[in-house]
Structure 1
Amino acid sequence: MVIDVQGDGMEAAEQPVFLLGEGLNALEPAPFDTEAEFQALLARHPRILDFGSLADGRPLRLVLVAREMRVPTSIESGSAYWLDHLFVDADGVPTLVEVKRAADTHIRREVVGQMLDYAANGARYWPAALLRRTFEETCAVDGRPLEDAYQELLGGQSPEEFWATVEERLAGGRMRLLFVADRIPLELRAIVEFLNRQLRQTDVYAVELTQYRGSGDHRVLVPRVHGEVATANKTQSRSGQAGKWTLADMDVALESRSPEKRQVALALLERAESAGRPVGNRAGYPSFSGYLPASGKEVPVWTLSLRDDQDKDDLAFSFGSITHHLGSDVTSAFADALPAVDGLGQRLATQWAKGFKGWPSVSLAALSTQPEALGQVLAAIEQLMSDDST
């Protein structure tokens, strides 16, 4: 038996808890035998981590994407980290979970650096197509019908739209980072509270999961959540961007850009509006994605982002999604048609070697200072939409 009890942030009690049935059964605090046992428990019972709510007020329900999720460290490198668990909710917000037992000394500080590595690299190297494939493979291994799994997530969307949203959340830093242990040291709590105050889009929590065992199979799990106060304090500051960016928002942001940059951005947005669908993202800065028709499908092709630092305004191409929908040959032809400006040529060559799974980008400044470059981008998009091979 597993009982979920929502914690109040107080220290876990060392005294027993009592289960009243036909008699009185005392359950004593008991450590998890191994970290693998701890991890398997969370994978089977994600409701233990379901605290809080979705944007529309519905209860949070986490769904497992993968246990031991591979996190590449670069496009070129074969090396990788391994995240203990990746979950996602119906808002498309990814939740990264790292599990440690109190006996592991890494729970104090090293785990924080690990988690930040996972978050930074996952945001860069987890395209929608990879996330979808991983989720569906996990469902197959667990024997869970895809229809049942998606019923908890889609809410009327297509799987393509949902995973594109997850990818957008990652790119914008909208995610949860959860440190889970049977005992959370004070040092880790302090770091969690500090990170929560500093990170605008990312929520950070430490979840202390105390296990109590009694006679027979009786078991009680008591989660206590640390970090909620800091999260609540910053919710107000970002509530103005609770929804997606609108075209009106982009117009306002573009007023502070140069005429040349505005021309590039407006040309992309207008083409998406006339031929497909521009979709506002939920990022911490004005951001739009262009969904365009190709081979009878609506494919997310690019994301335009206007950063707080205007020198970092950029246009990124969703090669992972294009490859997933249209195949690597079409993506290769699209890459060949793009302009080799601002180091884009080298990034495209790297993508070719890695199977076209990433997000190669080019700065708006480079596109705006080379007028022919914008024409090449628009021509490449037209070719993608009209390619007979699709």
Structure 2
Amino acid sequence: MADQPVFVVGAGLEALEATAFATEEEFQELLARHPRVLDFGTLSDGQPLRLVLVAREMGVPTSADSGSVYRLDHLFVDADGVPTLVEVKRATDTRLRREVVGQMLDYAANAARYWPAALLQHSFEETCRTDGRSVEQAYGELLGERSSDDFWATVEERLAAGQMRLLFVADRIPLELRAIVEFLNRQMRQTDVYAVELTQYRGDGELKVLVPRVYGEVATAAKTPSGHGGTQRTTRPELQAALDTRCTPEVRRVATALLEHAESRGKLVGGTGRFPSMNVHYRMAGGGWVPIGTLSLYEDPAREEFAFSLGSIVTRFGFDATAAFADALPSAGGLDERLHQLRNTNFNGWPSVSLAALAAESGAVTAILTAIDQLLATHEPRP
């Protein structure tokens, strides 16, 4: 049955008829300018959800050295640091049935691995400047009492843990897609999946009415809590308890050296993933903080590693300083090979090394700590 018109009562009665979007570009531009049409649900403190645009056509790599292979239509984020990935299709696009689902899952899987905090922050601030928005005002909607570094580190951690929203947006959602969305939402504990049908009504004048209808909320409500409604950070005692119960004395010594060095010269920020983790931040000479890396104790499969936040380092100190830092790091566990590959992508990545490999190579931990000290002491941060 055809859509019934929407009636606007003013001086008279005006009927607005359902009207298809002329182009996908028009559809995408509307969402970028008016993300409130996608604001359903609440934040962890009970406040209404307010999505903020990070970027349009956000590049998605498929490896540490591939560059952007795909382009996500829109990336939004909310004040809880939960990223929202949006793909837009018109009903006339036959890919809306099944192909778009595989496409979105591909984007989400690779974004979780290859979108460091520094890249997300740069994309957001560049989008603000391009759109003529004040960066400070945009941050005012997101940060609260947090620093921008802490906020984007939280977004990155949520991505790594799979704590995100996936939104399929179209002017008509077919039954096949609704069924897939409901199924995925029931099966995926950390990730929420929705389909949003956005119908446009227009009359003879300039008046336009947008009516969103959301599919997938029933399956979301039936889930056990996924954890991305709040920010439950790993505490230092919790991380230590995990180290004591699952790690060898050699691995514990490596972890303790890395953590104590950060505590004495910077600060530790607990991770928000499903596994115990701790981010190490250091104060820069010109003020502010730089996240150097993350110590993580993964559960499935069980492994302990330290990952370097090279994207954050290169954003704050530049390529040459980051290259010198990378050259000073040890070769343990093939770390040198991964660092060499990342030179071709402006060090956009999170190269990691297992704590066991660091423990097995004499002087490896000392080399890391010395490299950090040299980076902070000999290079002024970029303006």
Distance in 2 (alpha carbons) for counterparts of 1:79 and 1:273: 36
Deviations 1:348-381 (A, max 9, x none): 1012222222111112232233353223222322
Question: Which of residues 331, 340, 344 in structure 2 aligns to 1:349?
Answer: 340
**How many residues align structurally?**
379
Root-mean-square deviation (CA), in Å? 2.2
Distance in 2 (alpha carbons) for counterparts of 1:312 and 1:203: 27
User: Structure 2: which 5+ runs fail to align?
Assistant: none
Question: Which of residues 242, 247, 253 in structure 2 aligns to 1:263?
Answer: 253
| Counterpart amino acid of residue 164 in structure 1 | A
Displacement of 1:203 after TM fit? 1.5
Question: Which of residues 174, 179, 186 in structure 1 aligns to 2:163?
Answer: 174
Instruction: Give the conservation status (yes or no) of the 8 Å contact 2:55–2:76.
Output: yes
TM-score for both structures, normalised by structure 1: 0.90
Q: Structure 1 222/240 Cα, relative in aligned 2: closer, same or farther at 3 Å?
A: closer
The answer on 1:191 being equivalent to 2:199 is no
Match of residue 9 from structure 1: none
Distance in 1 (alpha carbons) for counterparts of 2:318 and 2:228: 39
Match of residue 5 from structure 1: none
TM-score for both structures, normalised by structure 2: 0.92
User: Structure 1: which 5+ runs fail to align?
Assistant: 1-11
Q: Percent identity?
A: 64
Matches within 5 A, 1:1-390: 14-78=3-67, 80-236=69-225, 238=227, 242-254=231-243, 255-296=245-286, 297-387=288-378
Distance in 2 (alpha carbons) for counterparts of 1:263 and 1:220: 62
SS at match of 1:98: strand
| Counterpart amino acid of residue 275 in structure 1 | R
Q: Structure 1 209/158 Cα, relative in aligned 2: closer, same or farther at 3 Å?
A: same
Distance in 1 (alpha carbons) for counterparts of 2:240 and 2:249: 12
Instruction: Give the conservation status (yes or no) of the 8 Å contact 1:200–1:238.
Output: no
Displacement of 1:389 after TM fit? 5.6
Instruction: Give the conservation status (yes or no) of the 8 Å contact 2:190–2:228.
Output: no
Instruction: Give the conservation status (yes or no) of the 8 Å contact 1:280–1:287.
Output: yes
Deviations 1:135-168 (A, max 9, x none): 2222222222222222211213333332232222
Displacement of 1:184 after TM fit? 1.3
Q: Mean alpha-carbon deviation: is it higher for 38-47 or for 157-166?
A: 157-166
Displacement of 1:134 after TM fit? 1.9
SS at match of 1:31: coil
| Counterpart amino acid of residue 313 in structure 2 | I
Displacement of 1:287 after TM fit? 1.5
Distance in 1 (alpha carbons) for counterparts of 2:332 and 2:266: 26
Distance in 1 (alpha carbons) for counterparts of 2:6 and 2:283: 59
